[in-house]
Amino acid sequence: MTQAIASPLVHDLIGVGFGPSNLALAIALQERGASQGNLDVLFLDKQADYRWHGNTLVTQSELQISFLKDLVTLRNPTSPYSFVNYLKAHGRLVDFINLGTFYPCRMEYNDYLRWVAGQFTAQSRYGEEVLTIEPVLHNHQVEALRVISRDTCGHQHVRTTRSVVVSAGGTPRIPEVFKALKDDDRVFHHSRYLAQMAKQPCVDNQPMSIAIIGGGQSAAEAFIDLNDSFPSVQVDMILRGSALKPADDSPFVNEVFSPEFTDLVFQQPDSERERLVNEYHNTNYSVVDIDLIERIYGIFYRQKVSGIARHAYHTLTTVEKATASERSERGIELVLRNNATGEVSVRHYDAVVLATGYERQMHRKLLAPLEEYLGDFEVDRNYKLITDERCKAGLYMQGFCQASHGLSDTLLSILPIRADEIAASLYEHGKHRGHGRSVVDLLLATAS
Ligand SMILES: Cc1cc2nc3c(=O)[nH]c(=O)nc-3n(C[C@H](O)[C@H](O)[C@H](O)COP(=O)(O)OP(=O)(O)OC[C@H]3O[C@@H](n4cnc5c(N)ncnc54)[C@H](O)[C@@H]3O)c2cc1C
Ligand SMILES: NC(=O)c1ccc[n+]([C@@H]2O[C@H](COP(=O)([O-])OP(=O)(O)OC[C@H]3O[C@@H](n4cnc5c(N)ncnc54)[C@H](OP(=O)(O)O)[C@@H]3O)[C@@H](O)[C@H]2O)c1
């Protein structure tokens, strides 16, 4: 039987996930705590220790946003948690200036985020996956929330809190045709790229044929890494679109990632919000950094010059069927349809990388026990879920509000501002509900 460990404490806030969104919130709450009193906050992350999309940190990958949009600078450029202060603390400030870039490599940004996370160890627990968030009821009202998590030893933990913030990030999108192969080590989503590649025979220089499905930034980065790091690998890029298209990061368009644009999107009716998200979709989704597109084009051009066609590029192509071939040496069999000609072909690969993007549905799963108090997961301007009057607990979300707050919501663009908006709302919520001893504590006391 699973052992459950129940804590008698009542937290003011439990955060699900300790990625950039909740790191920014931890800092914003610490800043407010100095003048308004500290809240009792705990962040839970399922990773054994903090890594920022750790299995995608290939050497050539760069941050796709200015380092000035770090966890704090937009709100408080004097904060000790800035990227510049991280550089200074690590003795690389002058060298970084000499690099002359706004876009550090993602390995370095991962190190920056880990450096910040390391300063909040008292408020964080790693290796704990939140399974569900349940109501604590008193007189038919949701007075608090019960957060149930499981640690790496399989023990369940039960904690009580007045508010939660769900900042659990995206979940790999696995196309329907590949779902039956989910346990096959040769077919994996890009979010597992480095760990899975380490198990492939090309690590020992064995020849391999690998398909990459998708035409976004992840697909492009996987292609470059396979080309550069594994000389024995032949790659087929397979995409539904007609070309790899560039991400629009031109300056006027980039204003959609400003804090003011969040206000603008939020003030619109639903149909206009949707139109705005669609209009600027090509700043972020199914698009690739122009430098990378040029590198990939160069690789294919040089193949034409040499006459050695190592890699292939299949556009307007849909995968109709994917099966593990009965003869294991034939690998994964893909049935491909060319959407322009209708031609169907069958190809075999030793591995398939699904660079097919991410879904944002985790909030629905985690908050399912609270469904009757929620509408359709609508939030107010401060990312607080709109509940019926029976719910007195605070429910917040980061990264699940693109439809109401715009494209910045899943990115790093406005983290310091959003974090402070949530922090202010939490203090406001506390004012009405009271921090410290309250009906929740009495409830728990009578229950024990
Ligand atoms: C490969 C990649 C590169 C990117 N690069 C950029 C970039 O350069 N610029 C940019 O603006 N955006 C980028 N993004 C977008 C990305 O969403 C943000 O950079 C950022 O990671 C969002 O932070 P977050 O904290 O909301 O989510 P995440 O970083 O995804 O963090 C969520 C955390 O929650 C934890 N978690 C999930 N479920 C649970 C659970 N049930 N219980 C406990 N913990 C849980 C996870 O372990 C994770 O640590 C990138 C995305 C990817 C996939
Ligand atoms: N260096 C970096 O900073 C870096 C690196 C990687 C990712 N990222 C970020 O991470 C986010 C996600 O990028 P991403 O490239 O992973 O995902 P993405 O931009 O959503 O692209 C997903 C790709 O998969 C395709 N696809 C989706 N479902 C499919 C299906 N069922 N069958 C076939 N193809 C399918 C899409 O095709 P359609 O276009 O036809 O829909 C698209 O080409 C973005 O914000 C990106 O900027 C950043």
Q: Are residues 228 and 375 in the same domain?
A: no
Q: Assess whether the C-beta atom of 286 lies below 6 angstroms from ligand 2.
A: yes
- Among residues 174, 175, 132, 191, the alpha carbon closest in space to that of 156 is found at 132
Contact 140, 390 (CB under 8 A): yes
Q: Is residue 342 part of a domain?
A: yes
pLDDT (tens digit per residue) in 64-120 = 999 999 999 999 999 999 999 999 999 999 999 999 999 999 999 999 999 999 999
State which residues form the domain around 296: 173-246+285-354
Instruction: Tell me, in angstroms, the distance from the centre of ligand 1 to residue 303's CA.
Output: 36
pLDDT (tens digit per residue) in 254-287 = 999 999 999 999 999 999 999 999 999 999 999 9
Instruction: Tell me, in angstroms, the distance from the centre of ligand 1 to residue 376's CA.
Output: 23
What percent of the chain has pLDDT above 90?
91
Count of the separate structural domains present in the chain: 2
Tell me which residue has its CA closest to atom 41 in ligand 1.
Answer: 130
How much is the pLDDT for 359? 98
d(CA 29, CA 34): 9
Q: Are residues 185 and 161 in the same domain?
A: no
- Report the residue count for the chain: 448
> Worst-scoring range by mean pLDDT, 186-190, 375-379, 431-435?
431-435
Q: Assess whether the C-beta atom of 103 lies below 6 angstroms from ligand 2.
A: no
Q: Are residues 334 and 426 in the same domain?
A: no
Q: State pTM to two decimals.
A: 0.96
Among 285, 289, 318, 410, say which to mutate for ligand 2: greatest number of ligand atoms within 8 Å of CB. 285
Q: Are residues 68 and 196 in the same domain?
A: no
Q: Is residue 21 part of a domain?
A: yes
Which tokens belong to 159?
């904690």
Q: Are residues 198 and 310 in the same domain?
A: yes
Q: Are residues 234 and 93 in the same domain?
A: no
pLDDT (tens digit per residue) in 194-249 = 999 999 999 999 999 999 999 999 999 999 999 999 999 999 999 999 999 999 99
Q: State the average pLDDT over residues 407-434.
A: 93
d(CA 409, CA 312): 35
Q: Are residues 149 and 67 in the same domain?
A: yes
Containing 109, the helix (H) or strand (E) segment is: helix 106-117
pLDDT (tens digit per residue) in 6-60 = 888 999 999 999 999 999 999 999 999 999 999 999 999 999 999 999 999 999 8
Q: Are residues 31 and 132 in the same domain?
A: yes
Among 25, 45, 71, say which to mutate for ligand 1: greatest number of ligand atoms within 8 Å of CB. 45
d(CA 42, CA 121): 10
pLDDT mean across residues, the chain: 95
Instruction: Tell me, in angstroms, the distance from the centre of ligand 1 to residue 437's CA.
Output: 34
Q: Which atom of ligand 1 is nearest to the CA of 69?
A: 11
Going by pLDDT thresholds of 50, 70 and 90, the confidence category of residue 443 is: low
How much is the pLDDT for 138? 95
How much is the pLDDT for 441? 60
Counting ligands in written order, the one closest to the CA of 170 is 1
In CATH, what number is assigned to the domain containing residue 58?
3.50.50.60
DSSP state of 42: E
Q: Assess whether the C-beta atom of 123 lies below 6 angstroms from ligand 2.
A: no
Instruction: Tell me, in angstroms, the distance from the centre of ligand 2 to residue 215's CA.
Output: 6
Q: Is residue 148 part of a domain?
A: yes
Tell me which residue has its CA closest to atom 50 in ligand 1.
Answer: 411
What percent of the chain has pLDDT above 70?
95
Instruction: Tell me, in angstroms, the distance from the centre of ligand 2 to residue 357's CA.
Output: 4
d(CA 439, CA 448): 14
Q: Which atom of ligand 1 is nearest to the CA of 149?
A: 42
Q: Are residues 138 and 56 in the same domain?
A: yes
Instruction: Tell me, in angstroms, the distance from the centre of ligand 2 to residue 266's CA.
Output: 25
pLDDT (tens digit per residue) in 213-226 = 999 999 999 999 99
Q: Are residues 58 and 135 in the same domain?
A: yes
User: Is the model's pLDDT at 434 over the cut of 70?
Assistant: no
Instruction: Tell me, in angstroms, the distance from the centre of ligand 1 to residue 197's CA.
Output: 21
Tell me which residue has its CA closest to atom 20 in ligand 2.
Answer: 357
**C-alpha pair distances (Å), 269 with each of 272, 274, 303, 377, 403:** 6, 9, 51, 16, 11
Contact 310, 301 (CB under 8 A): no
Instruction: Tell me, in angstroms, the distance from the centre of ligand 1 to residue 399's CA.
Output: 9
Domain boundary pick from 298, 327, 354 = 354
- Among residues 244, 254, 219, 226, the alpha carbon closest in space to that of 102 is found at 254
Q: Are residues 134 and 16 in the same domain?
A: yes
User: Is the model's pLDDT at 366 over the cut of 80?
Assistant: yes
Q: Assess whether the C-beta atom of 240 lies below 6 angstroms from ligand 2.
A: yes
Instruction: Tell me, in angstroms, the distance from the centre of ligand 1 to residue 329's CA.
Output: 36
User: Is the model's pLDDT at 442 over the cut of 70?
Assistant: no
> Phi/psi at 117 (nearest 5 deg)?
-55, -35
User: Is the model's pLDDT at 144 over the cut of 70?
Assistant: yes
The Cα diameter of the chain in Å comes to 79
Tell me which residue has its CA closest to atom 18 in ligand 1.
Answer: 411
Angle between helices 270-279 and 259-267 (to 10 degrees): 140
Q: Which atom of ligand 2 is nearest to the CA of 176?
A: 31
Instruction: Tell me, in angstroms, the distance from the centre of ligand 1 to residue 213's CA.
Output: 21
Q: Is residue 438 part of a domain?
A: yes
Domain boundary pick from 318, 338, 354 = 354
User: Is the model's pLDDT at 380 over the cut of 70?
Assistant: yes
Q: Is residue 269 part of a domain?
A: no
Q: Which atom of ligand 1 is nearest to the CA of 45?
A: 44
d(CA 11, CA 312): 55
Q: Is residue 273 part of a domain?
A: no
Q: Are residues 309 and 421 in the same domain?
A: no
Tell me which residue has its CA closest to atom 49 in ligand 1.
Answer: 19
Q: Is residue 98 part of a domain?
A: yes
Domain boundary pick from 354, 378, 393 = 354
Going by pLDDT thresholds of 50, 70 and 90, the confidence category of residue 328 is: low
Q: Is residue 164 part of a domain?
A: yes
User: Is the model's pLDDT at 447 over the cut of 70?
Assistant: no
List all residues whose CB is within 6 A of at least one atom of ligand 1: 16-22, 44-47, 52-53, 56, 63-65, 129-130, 167-169, 362, 398-399, 410-413
